[in-house]
Amino acid sequence: TDKLTYKITDINLAESGRKLISMAEAEMPGVMQLKKIHGPKKPLKGVRLAGCLHVTAQTAVMIEALREMGAQIQWSCCNPLSTQDNIAAALAKAGISIYAWQGETDEEKLWCIDQTIYFPDGQPLNAILDDGCNLTRIVHEKYPHLTSGIHGSSEETTAGITKLRKLLKDKRLKIPIINVNDSVTKSKFDNNYGCGEGVIDGIKRATDVMIGGKNVVIIGYGNVGKGCAKAFSGFGARVVIIEVDPICALQATMDGHQVITMVEACKIGQIYVTATGSTNLIREEHMMEMCDMAILCNIGSGQTEIDIAWLKANAVKIENIKPQLDIYHLSNGRALIVPADGRVINLSCAHGNPSFVMSNSLSNQILAHIELFTKKGQYPVGIHTLPKILLTVHRPLGSSATNFTTEIPPSSTTIEVSFSSFTTDLSSPFTI
């Protein structure tokens, strides 16, 4: 086929990207351990994996582990703003077919995804790795004839799971799904601690705002909202919470945060953070009441938690300050600061969540694909989570890592908890 083997910004950025990938490997013991244990056995030989997930150093570490395990891989990015061009260049130079660059248009993003459907040998994908259900949705809508050949898709994020549950409810889901987001070693770590550090990194790189002493309104008190509230509180902000779920609202109260409504919040908020995985949380009726130069940022995936469309249609002036930072001047004479066009701020304005928590999330991605490919019959069409097992493995001193997997009783299932939070010294008894 005359398809480009890759399309990125600049292959000359590869060396700098490779250095960052090496640094990330040092802080991703879980993924590296899985690569060491499973790599030699090539459990994914025969997998043609199309991935659509943020192109960061952490993702690159996972991609290279999956390839070491035998998978053929093609990649695009789920967010037009989150590709790090030097990482994409390092992956392209290493022979990965990647179609992604920082600052894609929405149409280019879709073109990139289309490049990953068929492999160079003309064969279609037979596995999907998704973050926000973009690729799974496109396969269902544009390539429905290919769904029967796909043994499974893994979904990384909350908003993606919401979309998949709707597909399932409408009886339109055609492939097995492993819900990586709800693995406890993913959502209790990446979503919480990762996004807590990521939102601060993103908002500061975007706006240089002083956080101490500010009124910060966090909308959504799930794993992500909890991590963000803790991070902003740590910087001395006064954090108030909007939350409709009574349990999460009670947790917010018990954590010392006032829980109020958006009508009340938009009178006091100086920094807003949407973290719900839902849509249209901040709307016209709120924005028209907000303080001058309030900052609206989003850390849920997708671009619809803040009603950007209304802002673009109704601002009297849109002032671009720098890439990923605009000020919208409203008809009431006040202005709102919006980083990243309302897209996920940690990945659009910084480099995403740190390696250590991503090792947890991406270890679960790897385990999901080993599970889906080697145990096909066990995962019918539907949404599954990786089994959670507690396992004590007592290992004779000095034995090699490879026989670790043979010590797992054949009846047990894949270890859901990734290694990254445990010592990689397999010579000592430890409990997983």
Ligand X SMILES: Nc1nccc2c1ncn2C[C@@H](O)[C@@H](O)C(=O)O
Which residues of this chain interact with ligand X, rule CB under 6 A?
A: 53-54, 56, 58-59, 131, 156-157, 190-191, 194, 198, 301, 346-347, 352-353, 358, 361
Nearer to ligand X, 74 or 179 (CB): 179
**Which two tokens mark 350?**
């910084």
For 65, 177, 336, the CA distances from 13, given in Å and listed in that order, are: 22, 35, 35
Which residue, 294 or 299, is less far from ligand X as judged by CB?
Answer: 299
Question: Minimal distance in Å, beta carbon 349 to ligand X?
Answer: 12
In the structure encoding, which two tokens stand for residue 157, read together? 């994020």
Beta carbon of residue 133, minimum distance to ligand X (angstroms, whole number): 11
Please report how close the Cβ of residue 71 comes to ligand X at its closest, in angstroms: 18
Residue 416: CB minimum distance to ligand X, A? 16
3-class SS at 164?
A: helix
- In 3D space, the residue among 152, 174, 182 whose CA is nearest the CA of residue 44 turns out to be 152
Closest residue to ligand X in the complex (CB): 352
Residue nearer to ligand X on the CB measure, 86 or 361: 361
* Residue 353, both tokens: 């969540």
Q: How many CA atoms lie within 13 A of 244 on its CB side?
A: 5
Phi, psi angle pair for 321, to nearest 5°: -85, -45
Q: Going along 368-412, which residue ranges are E strands?
A: 382-384, 392-393
Q: How far is the CB of 424 from ligand X (least distance, A)?
A: 21
Contact 271, 48 (CB under 8 A): no
- Report the candidate in 16, 63, 21 with the shortest Cα–Cα distance to residue 44: 63
Nearer to ligand X, 240 or 275 (CB): 275
φ, ψ of residue 230 to 5 degrees: the values are -65, -40
Of the pair 299, 311, the CB lying nearest ligand X is at: 299
Q: How far is the CB of 207 from ligand X (least distance, A)?
A: 19
Q: Identify which of residues 93 and 188 has a Cβ nearer to ligand X in the complex.
A: 188
